A and B are shown apart, each in its own frame.
Chain A
Amino acid sequence: MSQMPFDDLEAAYEALALAIDAAGEKREALFLTRLALVLAHELGDIGVFKRAVQTALEELP
């Protein structure tokens, strides 16, 4: 896990919420998929990406 300062994480949380609203309900799935693909590319580490996918997927309510 990274050492992201809490304030930055909170800023990411806000940016995500605003972006999902900006994408609109019809396109939110596509937007989130694009976001994940961009993040995977930026991350450059398939192991970390797969762990993140698992974290997000497990115990999905």
Chain B
Amino acid sequence: MRPAGKGPLDSLYFHYPVFPAGHAPERDGKRTRHPVVIVGAGPIGMTAALALARHGVRSVLLDRKDTFNDGSRAICIARPSMHILERIGAAAPFLAKALGWRFGRSYYRGTQIFRLEMPHPESEKYLPMYNLQQQYIEKFLHDAVAACDLIDMRWRSELAGIENRADGVALDIATPEGNYRLDADYVLAADGARSPIRSMLGLRLKGENYEGRYVIADIRMDHDFPTERRAFFDPSGNPGGTVLIHKQPDDIWRVDYQLREGESEEDALREENIRARVGAILADIGHTKPWELEWWSIYSANTLCLDDYRHGRIFFIGDSAHIVPIFGVRGLNNGLADADNIAWKLARVLHGEASERLLDSYSPERRGATLDVFANATKSTRFMTPPTRGWRLAREAALSLSLKHEFPRGLANPRQMQPYAYSQSPLTPHTGRDAEFASGPVCGSFAPNARLADGSFLLDRAGYGMTAILFCDGTPDAEQSALLDQLGRSDKRLVPLLVQRTGNVAGAIQDASGKIARLYGAAPGTLYLLRPDLHIAGRWKTIAADEILHTARLCLGVPTP
């Protein structure tokens, strides 16, 4: 919502473009079968289209609106998401505009009780978190979409019907010019929390709703405070409730405050009440200069998801598949990981390189990630919005003891988004090999980055197919060479990387200090196999050719004997 007298897209700082509907060739009777149709051009749909394009796959991207989503909405981009944005070629404008951060503070009745410090090892290329309004996220992704020949973006195109058949999907599209039919091999449902595709298929999200409600309000003010997450428990500006403050670019600040019990939603959303409550909160943090109200909305926490993210040839990605609480910033970030996950798998299948069975791994991997988010988010949600007297008392006990004592302070930790490890995935069959390692990233986890001697990073060298990292001093021996050859024959996109403490094989990564080997818990002869999404498919202290080839074939969707 916006202040009286302003239109829904009348922003203080962002100009909403209006996109024309365009003319669909199907309206002239042209029947093309499209490999992928993506419904919904929000951040997740656009990322999916760009990721497919990066793998050489065409898509049609539909949105019923004629512009970006209103309001700042999801504002936190986590480190793994920056890697996704980098690999779809869209990271530069994000880095130029977004505000990176890694610190936070929690206060109880005005006194600081917890200092959040997210680790930022020098081996990492990106900060743990970046704040950026969703309009900018959508604009930057759309700039990349508009520049991409493989994406056919169609605004003002609303899904009116969908038929999910064994041999393809038929979509009925409504436009200002009239309806037309679109045929697709596969459909990605990126149509958001109220997903029309979900309703059309008769599917329902299942899970929990939480009681506590928050108003989220954006204001513009000249306020001198670094980009940190600030959480205020029971502050005098919102007695009995919680307040969160985040900084965004363009002098925009996000103020979230918890509604009191019994406060009606209608009252809470009235402009004069928003102004009064925000004013009290600002007075409390010592901001006495003027401020302007930009946009506001209301929010209550849910942990809801579909039982299966795949229905035949239709895949649900982002909010259409799962609704997670905002505390911990996992909604957008998990949606981006969904898009990245399905894109490389679909690309393999559509290029005829993988059997359709590869697509079966999408739902267990990404639904697994959602359930993991629920476990963490449920804890932070209970802390942010205690649902009963018992939870309220326990929290007040913990917070009040935190004023003088260290031991309960960790309970105020917001448990920000951590990337999920696909250790239970059908594509990660040899997790038992983790036992051979004393340290380093486990099977299924996101590969850690490392800074190389020339200032570039290890993951910059990873490919868009499988990547094999072989720790090897000197030239690879006969067994190692034979394995890399065989891997290269099963995956023509394979990128083999040699990491060497000694020796000077051309193109090898020099690791004279042993820094990368330590990070990966590797000895000479160790091999890590990375998937196209930079998760670790497997790791072996020394080569076990059968297992490595088996894992690679699974990730490539090649049927194994």
Within 8 A of B (CB), among A8-61: 29-30, 33-34, 36-38, 41
CB pairs A–B below 8 angstroms (21 shown): A29-B393, A30-B393, A30-B396, A30-B397, A30-B400, A33-B393, A33-B394, A33-B396, A33-B397, A34-B397, A34-B400, A34-B401, A36-B397, A37-B394, A37-B397, A37-B398, A37-B401, A37-B408, A38-B401, A41-B407, A41-B408
Distance of A37 Cα from B405 Cα, bound (Å): 12
The chain A residue sitting closest to B396, CB to CB, is A30
Within 8 A of A (CB), among B371-414: 393-394, 396-398, 400-401, 407-408
In the complex, chain A residues whose CB is within 8 Å of the CB of B396: 30, 33
The chain B residue sitting closest to A31, CB to CB, is B397
In the complex, chain B residues whose CB is within 8 Å of the CB of A33: 393-394, 396-397
- List 5 additional contacts besides A33-B396, A41-B407; criterion CB under 8 Å: A29-B393, A30-B397, A33-B394, A33-B397, A37-B398
The chain A residue sitting closest to B408, CB to CB, is A37
Binding site for B on A (CB under 8 A): 29-30, 33-34, 36-38, 41
Binding site for A on B (CB under 8 A): 393-394, 396-398, 400-401, 407-408
Nearest chain A CB to B187 CB, angstrom units? 48
4 closest A-B pairs by beta carbon, nearest first, are: A33-B397, A34-B397, A33-B393, A41-B407
Distance of A38 Cα from B402 Cα, bound (Å): 11
Interface of A is mostly: helix
The chain B residue sitting closest to A37, CB to CB, is B397
In the complex, chain A residues whose CB is within 8 Å of the CB of B393: 29-30, 33
Distance of A30 Cα from B389 Cα, bound (Å): 11
Nearest chain A CB to B114 CB, angstrom units? 16
Distance of A36 Cα from B394 Cα, bound (Å): 10
The chain A residue sitting closest to B389, CB to CB, is A29
Distance of A33 Cα from B396 Cα, bound (Å): 9
In the complex, chain B residues whose CB is within 8 Å of the CB of A37: 394, 397-398, 401, 408
Nearest chain A CB to B396 CB, angstrom units? 6
Distance of A33 Cα from B392 Cα, bound (Å): 11
Distance of A37 Cα from B402 Cα, bound (Å): 11
- Which one of B394, B396, B397 has the greatest number of beta carbons of chain A within 10 Å? B397
Distance of A36 Cα from B39 Cα, bound (Å): 52
Distance of A29 Cα from B407 Cα, bound (Å): 21
The chain B residue sitting closest to A29, CB to CB, is B393
- Which one of A36, A37, A38 has the greatest number of beta carbons of chain B within 10 Å? A37
Distance of A33 Cα from B411 Cα, bound (Å): 15
In the complex, chain A residues whose CB is within 8 Å of the CB of B401: 34, 37-38
Nearest chain A CB to B108 CB, angstrom units? 13
Nearest chain B CB to A58 CB, angstrom units? 17
In the complex, chain A residues whose CB is within 8 Å of the CB of B400: 30, 34
In the complex, chain A residues whose CB is within 8 Å of the CB of B397: 30, 33-34, 36-37
In the complex, chain A residues whose CB is within 8 Å of the CB of B398: 37
Distance of A33 Cα from B399 Cα, bound (Å): 12
Distance of A41 Cα from B398 Cα, bound (Å): 11
Distance of A36 Cα from B393 Cα, bound (Å): 11
